[in-house]
A and B are shown apart, each in its own frame.
Chain A
Amino acid sequence: MLWGVQIVGVVLAIGLAPFFMGIAQTVKARRQGRRGPSVLQGYWVLAKTWHKETTAPEFSSWIFRLAPSMSLAALILIVASIPWSGSVPSVWPHNLLVVFFLLALERFWVGLAGMDSAGTFGGLGASRVTTLGTGIEPAMLAAFGLLWALSGHTDIQPLAPELARRSLGALPWGLAALSYVFVLLAEAGRIPVDNPDTHLELTMMHEATVLEYSGRFLAQSQIAVAVKFTAVIALGWVWLGPQLASPWANLGLRLIELSVSSAALGWVESRFVKLRYFQLPAYLAMAAGVGMLALYLVVSGGLN
């Protein structure tokens, strides 16, 4: 039963990832007064890209060819670590710190691929993506600060019941959620950190690392972006959102939450502009500070 729900959950999350991205894009288009493409546009683009010719730049090595598979594998493993039914079989990895390390693994390979493409854009993208990563990783740890303090362990699985049992006040919960949303926008590469729609070299980050990719490799990278988007949103709901007793209902709830969050993100994105690259450390420091504040409010005892 657990295995069944988990497998269905992982397959659905990966399969629906382009759809969730499509929802965000559609909401964004509507907010800009456009009709926008269909929410299924992501699938057509993927299908078209997959059947195009796959090229690799001169001077590139096997690193360039293997990097999309490696980063996609790391992200799929993150989706698999999320307890879609509310809990996972105990032999299966479900550790939040491992998720952080897997995100770092993905970033490492994206960076290597950028350096291996032997051009200016690849190096630029690799530099920007890894620099951004140095801000994201501590901020994400702080965003989960409340969680370490309350649960005392680092498993993803029993978090939500634990938090519910302690019956937090709205304030620390809200601060933790706010902090996580800041980090999520950075990790998923959305406005105000990175603009997924841009193709101008001065503004792009992740896009620069995949500039040399085409065909099947490009499709893999696009799937990876969508899967990451889904994974980081779902990760937030697992510990901040409600839990249902029935595994299938829980899975359904997650999917609804994902759709709603995607729409909300599209709305948020169209309200803001992209920050300057050199303002991003301050942005991420703010995210970390809010997370630490949430932790301090709880542990200082003032709210208990």
Chain B
Amino acid sequence: MLILWIVASGLLISLTASKRLLSLGLTLALSIIFLVLAVWGLWGGGSAFLAGPYLALTPVRAWFLLVLGVVSTMSSWYRFGYRQHDETATAFWLPLFMVSMVGVITAQTVWIFMTAWEVMAITSFFLVVAHHDRPGVVKAGYIYLVMSQVSAIAILSGLLLMASAVHSMHFGVWAADARYLPLGVKSWIFGLLGLGFAVKSGIIPFHVWLPRAHPVAPAPVSSLMSGAMIKLGVFGVVQFLLIDLGPTNVIWSVMLLVMGAVSSLLGVLYALMEHDLKRLLAYHSIENIGIIFLGLGVMALGIDWHRPFLMVVGLVASLFHTLNHAIFKSQLFLAAGAVEQHTGTLDAELLGGLIRSMPGIAVGFLMGSMAISALPPFNGFISEWVTFRGLLSIAGGSTGLWAVFGLGMAMVLALTGALAGMCFVKASGVIFLGQPRQPVSHRVIPRSMTWPILGLAVVSLALGVFPSPMVHVIASLAPALRAHAAATPLPLQATVVALALVVVAAVAALLARVWDVREAPRWNCGREVDAAMQFTSSSFTKAVRTTFAVIYRPHRNLTRLGTQSQDFPERLSYHGGTTPTWERYLYRPGYRLAWTISRYSTRMQAGSVRLYLTYLLATIGLMLLFVH
């Protein structure tokens, strides 16, 4: 009942949209209530207040509510300083969006789950198109809506199939009975639900909506979508496919691993080529969802092979990375929003040296960059370490090709991590360091935008230095695994590593007297240096573009301008880019096919009422013929 009241109050907050401060304050309060509820759910899992026939909060669900609570609290706080031109619409849709996500997490029946899922899709569509007067925004929102519906259809079919197989619409019954279903039914359910949740999570090749929808939304919305909403796909996989279904065909576990590997590698490769900061971050969401899916795959293999160690490591890896990614990704998205508000642009090629005009945001972005690159002592390091541990356990405890497969997956993850590190050296370096590339406006950033970003940075640092409590919480989430939870070794000594790093670095900095330095001009072989001589986002990644040319299919166009342009060009015009492979070779044919079919269907559907009446009559006639 308690959850029902909270959901109802969320609906009321939407009505205060026209009063800015009231609405912001109430949204923040609602987010904090989510957080409290999540902690309560994790602490005393079986509390009677949290269970009900329609909505209930089990420990696994409470974990995802925690993810939502952290992101929504910080994003709501950030909105006090964030200015956009149409705030009323966002203020109206945002509480509904948040409440619908709570509905998805706590739903106990198919009906409530699907209603909340669709409300979530529609409210987030309206949030994405908040800046609908800018070019391309409505198209991005439309693509997002279409993909959401594809996902919803797949999920609905999967859920209904499960409901008819178990003979119940109630998720409580599923938890008890679903594992005894025959393997064939399980495979169908896995395929349909897996497809639906993969689309919603942005797994490649179903990712096309994500790098379009996330960047055009206002920063707090991007942060909520990237931090919390796409994680609900992960929630679906964990709850329905792994915990409820239990062992399935090992093919599906391999599928999860391969989807994770492909998404993480391609996601980061595409991110490297971006110079729009928010698009870059959106591609990194795909990468991190891939890493989470690698963890899920490890867990699934553990379930199939009855190896509790793999199960626990996979669960810890995926769920911990879910929380960690939510933290550092919303931190980075909020920082990107601050950059946009500060300078009016997100194009890295125009920026530079922002560390001097916005030092707080720069520190926040830098810490987020270290966390997402899985560097110690931040939280991403811990969860990627656990993921590596799981993948290498596949390599270690298996024979023949399985061992090579496990090692190969771990190598993909290592490549992904290294590319992510490179991408964030690029992003922080080009945007925050060096000399400004173009003169841009410098609007002052209010404190209420800086503090949430730094707050998230502190949380991510704290989770990286003291990971053990969280790891133990996750390991005891799934009831079936509770017996093995104590067996999870974490011989990481993260706290010692962090302390030693800080102490040694501090001593080294003191010895080097970092404050006693003279500023001198830069060396450039004796020539005058200007800002254009610095490396840009595109030149930084040139070697990667060449090495992975098979994936990028880069093209460039260099034109010499001026009279006698061939030998003495006055100016050069350079245009380069990469080929959007998935869009061109997978989606464009599908899109054309849909158009062709609909063109043929106009012969049947010409808009004439008399024709439609004839169809109606014919249908009834046919029905009478067959049913009779």
A interface residue numbers (CB < 8 A to B):
53-63, 65-66, 68-70, 72-74, 76-77, 80, 91-95, 97-98, 100-102, 104-105, 107-108, 111-112, 114-124, 126-128, 130-131, 133-138, 140-142, 145, 148-155, 211-212, 216-217, 220, 277-278, 281, 288, 292, 295-296, 299-301
Establish whether residues B421 and A115, one from each chain, have CB atoms under 8 Å apart when the complex forms: no
Establish whether residues B541 and A216, one from each chain, have CB atoms under 8 Å apart when the complex forms: no
B404: chain A residues within 8 A (beta carbon): 292, 295-296, 299
A134: chain B residues within 8 A (beta carbon): 415, 418-419, 422, 544
9 A-B residue pairs with Cβ-Cβ distance under 8 Å, sorted by A, are A57-B519, A76-B504, A112-B429, A115-B434, A117-B522, A126-B425, A130-B421, A134-B422, A141-B414
**Size of the chain B interface, CB-CB below 8 angstroms:** 83
| B396-438 CB contacts (< 8 Å) to partner A | 396-400, 403-404, 407-408, 410-412, 414-415, 417-419, 421-422, 424-426, 428-430, 433-435
Q: A68–B366 Cα gap in the complex (Å)? A: 17
B516: chain A residues within 8 A (beta carbon): 54
Q: A152–B366 Cα gap in the complex (Å)? A: 35
- Given that A98-B385, A301-B399 are known contacts, is A148 also in contact with B375, CB under 8 Å in the complex? no
- Among A116, A120, A288, the residue within 8 A (CB) of B411 is A288
Establish whether residues A108 and B535, one from each chain, have CB atoms under 8 Å apart when the complex forms: no
Q: Which residue of B lies closest to A201 (CB)?
A: B525
Establish whether residues B422 and A133, one from each chain, have CB atoms under 8 Å apart when the complex forms: yes
Q: A69–B513 Cα gap in the complex (Å)? A: 11
Q: Which of B392, B395, B410, B426 has the most CB of A within 10 A?
A: B392
- Given that A73-B504, A127-B535 are known contacts, is A148 also in contact with B407, CB under 8 Å in the complex? yes
B540 within 8 A of A: yes
B541: chain A residues within 8 A (beta carbon): 127
B625 within 8 A of A: no
Establish whether residues A69 and B356, one from each chain, have CB atoms under 8 Å apart when the complex forms: no
A165 to chain B, nearest CB (A): 15
Establish whether residues B396 and A148, one from each chain, have CB atoms under 8 Å apart when the complex forms: yes
- Given that A63-B355, A95-B492, A220-B512 are known contacts, is A55 also in contact with B520, CB under 8 Å in the complex? yes
Given contacts A69-B506, A118-B433, A138-B412, 18 further A-B contacts (CB under 8 A): A55-B520, A58-B520, A59-B434, A61-B355, A68-B512, A69-B505, A73-B508, A93-B497, A107-B421, A111-B425, A112-B433, A115-B429, A117-B522, A120-B535, A138-B418, A151-B396, A216-B512, A278-B543
Establish whether residues B403 and A104, one from each chain, have CB atoms under 8 Å apart when the complex forms: no
| B426-470 CB contacts (< 8 Å) to partner A | 426, 428-430, 433-435
| B517-571 CB contacts (< 8 Å) to partner A | 517-524, 529, 533-535, 539-544, 546-547
Establish whether residues B385 and A101, one from each chain, have CB atoms under 8 Å apart when the complex forms: yes
Establish whether residues A55 and B425, one from each chain, have CB atoms under 8 Å apart when the complex forms: no
| B355-411 CB contacts (< 8 Å) to partner A | 355-356, 366, 370, 373-376, 381, 384-385, 388-389, 392-393, 395-400, 403-404, 407-408, 410-411
Establish whether residues A56 and B520, one from each chain, have CB atoms under 8 Å apart when the complex forms: yes
B419 to chain A, nearest CB (A): 5
Q: A60–B414 Cα gap in the complex (Å)? A: 31
B387 to chain A, nearest CB (A): 10
B500 within 8 A of A: yes
Establish whether residues A145 and B508, one from each chain, have CB atoms under 8 Å apart when the complex forms: no
Establish whether residues B493 and A95, one from each chain, have CB atoms under 8 Å apart when the complex forms: yes
Establish whether residues B517 and A123, one from each chain, have CB atoms under 8 Å apart when the complex forms: no
Q: A59–B374 Cα gap in the complex (Å)? A: 28
A265 to chain B, nearest CB (A): 24
Contact bitstring B483-501, A, C-beta under 8 A = 1, else 0: 0000001011100110011
Q: Which residue of A lies closest to B363 (CB)?
A: A62
Establish whether residues A133 and B396, one from each chain, have CB atoms under 8 Å apart when the complex forms: no
10 shortest interchain CB distances as A-B pairs:
A123-B535, A115-B429, A73-B505, A69-B508, A111-B425, A152-B396, A130-B422, A73-B504, A55-B520, A299-B403
| B237-284 CB contacts (< 8 Å) to partner A | none
- Given that A55-B518, A126-B535 are known contacts, is A118 also in contact with B392, CB under 8 Å in the complex? no
Q: Which residue of B lies closest to A223 (CB)?
A: B508
Establish whether residues A65 and B514, one from each chain, have CB atoms under 8 Å apart when the complex forms: yes
Establish whether residues A120 and B524, one from each chain, have CB atoms under 8 Å apart when the complex forms: yes
- Given that A70-B505, A93-B492 are known contacts, is A61 also in contact with B547, CB under 8 Å in the complex? no
A61: chain B residues within 8 A (beta carbon): 355-356, 433
Q: A70–B435 Cα gap in the complex (Å)? A: 23
Establish whether residues A141 and B433, one from each chain, have CB atoms under 8 Å apart when the complex forms: no
- Given that A115-B430, A295-B407 are known contacts, is A133 also in contact with B414, CB under 8 Å in the complex? no
Establish whether residues A131 and B544, one from each chain, have CB atoms under 8 Å apart when the complex forms: yes
A53: chain B residues within 8 A (beta carbon): 518
Establish whether residues B522 and A299, one from each chain, have CB atoms under 8 Å apart when the complex forms: no
B275 to chain A, nearest CB (A): 14
What does DSSP make chain A's interface, helix, strand, loop or mixed? helix
A100: chain B residues within 8 A (beta carbon): 414
B509 within 8 A of A: yes
A62: chain B residues within 8 A (beta carbon): 514
A112: chain B residues within 8 A (beta carbon): 366, 425, 428-429, 433
- Given that A105-B375, A133-B422, A288-B411 are known contacts, is A118 also in contact with B497, CB under 8 Å in the complex? no
Establish whether residues A95 and B533, one from each chain, have CB atoms under 8 Å apart when the complex forms: no
Q: A231–B152 Cα gap in the complex (Å)? A: 53
Establish whether residues B533 and A119, one from each chain, have CB atoms under 8 Å apart when the complex forms: yes
- Among B429, B520, B546, the residue within 8 A (CB) of A126 is B429
B81 within 8 A of A: no
B508: chain A residues within 8 A (beta carbon): 68-69, 72-73, 220
A77: chain B residues within 8 A (beta carbon): 497, 500-501, 504
A111: chain B residues within 8 A (beta carbon): 421-422, 425, 429
B353 within 8 A of A: yes
Establish whether residues B422 and A131, one from each chain, have CB atoms under 8 Å apart when the complex forms: yes
Establish whether residues A155 and B524, one from each chain, have CB atoms under 8 Å apart when the complex forms: no
Q: A301–B400 Cα gap in the complex (Å)? A: 7
A69 to chain B, nearest CB (A): 4
Q: A301–B401 Cα gap in the complex (Å)? A: 11
B520: chain A residues within 8 A (beta carbon): 55-58
B385: chain A residues within 8 A (beta carbon): 97-98, 101
Q: Which of A72, A74, A97, A220 has the most CB of B within 10 A?
A: A97
Q: A145–B411 Cα gap in the complex (Å)? A: 10
Establish whether residues A281 and B389, one from each chain, have CB atoms under 8 Å apart when the complex forms: no
- Among A57, A72, A102, A119, the residue within 8 A (CB) of B376 is A102
A125 to chain B, nearest CB (A): 9
Q: A275–B172 Cα gap in the complex (Å)? A: 62
A142: chain B residues within 8 A (beta carbon): 407, 411
B620 to chain A, nearest CB (A): 65
B533: chain A residues within 8 A (beta carbon): 119-120
Q: Which of B373, B425, B516 has the most CB of A within 10 A?
A: B425
- Among A60, A133, A281, the residue within 8 A (CB) of B418 is A133
Establish whether residues B422 and A138, one from each chain, have CB atoms under 8 Å apart when the complex forms: no
- Among B419, B523, B529, the residue within 8 A (CB) of A211 is B523
Q: A114–B434 Cα gap in the complex (Å)? A: 9
B417: chain A residues within 8 A (beta carbon): 104, 137
Establish whether residues B418 and A137, one from each chain, have CB atoms under 8 Å apart when the complex forms: yes
- Given that A115-B429, A137-B415 are known contacts, is A123 also in contact with B393, CB under 8 Å in the complex? no
- Among A56, A92, A149, the residue within 8 A (CB) of B519 is A56
Q: A301–B422 Cα gap in the complex (Å)? A: 38
B497: chain A residues within 8 A (beta carbon): 77, 93, 98, 102
B529: chain A residues within 8 A (beta carbon): 118-120
A227 to chain B, nearest CB (A): 11
Q: A229–B364 Cα gap in the complex (Å)? A: 33
B145 to chain A, nearest CB (A): 36
Establish whether residues A55 and B519, one from each chain, have CB atoms under 8 Å apart when the complex forms: yes
Q: A138–B425 Cα gap in the complex (Å)? A: 19
Q: A149–B403 Cα gap in the complex (Å)? A: 7
Q: Which residue of B lies closest to A281 (CB)?
A: B547
Establish whether residues B543 and A58, one from each chain, have CB atoms under 8 Å apart when the complex forms: no
- Given that A149-B403, A155-B491 are known contacts, is A54 also in contact with B518, CB under 8 Å in the complex? yes
Establish whether residues B425 and A130, one from each chain, have CB atoms under 8 Å apart when the complex forms: yes
Establish whether residues A138 and B415, one from each chain, have CB atoms under 8 Å apart when the complex forms: yes
B24 to chain A, nearest CB (A): 33
